[in-house]
Amino acid sequence: SGLHLTGDDNTKSKLTLTNSAPSTDNTWSLHPIYNGQDLLLNEDSDTRVTFQAGGNVGIGVISPSTSLQVQGIPTTLGDARYVVRLEDNTAMAAGVGGGIVFSGEYIVGTQAIFAAIWGEKENATSDNSDGQLHLGTRKNGGSPAISSDLVISSEGNVRIGVGGTTTITGLTQTNLIVGSGTGGEIVAYRDDNAGVEGDFVGAFLFGNDDNSGAEDHFAGMYGKIVGTAGNSMSLNFASGS
């Protein structure tokens, strides 16, 4: 029952659509491939979409190696280059924007979302396209289920572990804000080199104080290895001139 189309080989077994008026246009065709069992959507002789027998889908890819593989000439917007665009069609407001989630089985047969990446409008002002990027993870039983663990504002400022989902209030004059971890620590600096007397690790503050274009060392705080044995370290504070 139903409609069946058959052909002698991969070239002839196809369903073809062509506009002939006012003039002959591109021809689109569906090709079922023998043996491989793939289904191809072609524009003239070029394959645009591949549906593999195992369920993989390729856009611009003849042999996709994952569930969805996209290949094409990227669109550019400033420094950004992209081949996929995700859009949120809800009404304009602070916090709207597209995203993607990552999930897997957390009990047998049941999926859970573990993490997410999303971009959103930074404010509620019409005709203002300031945006921010969020990376979030899920903590079992947490509220909200997905928290904003890392936020990059439209100014390029970064907030880590401070929380919040739609605003970045208080970050406009601060390049980096880091929230406290579960152990009480805020930032840990680590030197993985073999311990050598005089080695140090820490934080240093730089800036341009004379419009010369060269950055100057303003101040710093660092730990320094003392001696060649044990875990002895000194805590040092320094200021530039």
Question: How many C-beta neighbours within 10 Å does residue 33 have?
Answer: 14
CA 96 to chain CA centroid, Å, is 17
Question: How many C-beta neighbours within 10 Å does residue 97 have?
Answer: 19
Per-residue model confidence (pLDDT) at position 200? 64
Per-residue model confidence (pLDDT) at position 168? 46
CA 32, CA 6: separation in Å to the nearest integer?
10
Per-residue model confidence (pLDDT) at position 211? 62
Per-residue model confidence (pLDDT) at position 227? 62
Per-residue model confidence (pLDDT) at position 208? 62
206 φ/ψ angles, rounded to the nearest 5 degrees: -125, 155
Token readout for 219 is 């101040």
Per-residue model confidence (pLDDT) at position 233? 65
Per-residue model confidence (pLDDT) at position 10? 64
Token readout for 16 is 């073809």
Per-residue model confidence (pLDDT) at position 205? 67
Q: How many helices (H) and strands (E) does the chain have?
A: 0, 17
Pairing of strands 158-160, 146-152: antiparallel
The beta strands (E) that lie in 22-155 are given as 27-32, 39-43, 46-51, 57-59, 68-70, 75-77, 80-82, 99-107, 110-121, 131-138, 146-152
CA 218, CA 240: separation in Å to the nearest integer?
5
Which of the residues in the chain have pLDDT under 50? 165-171
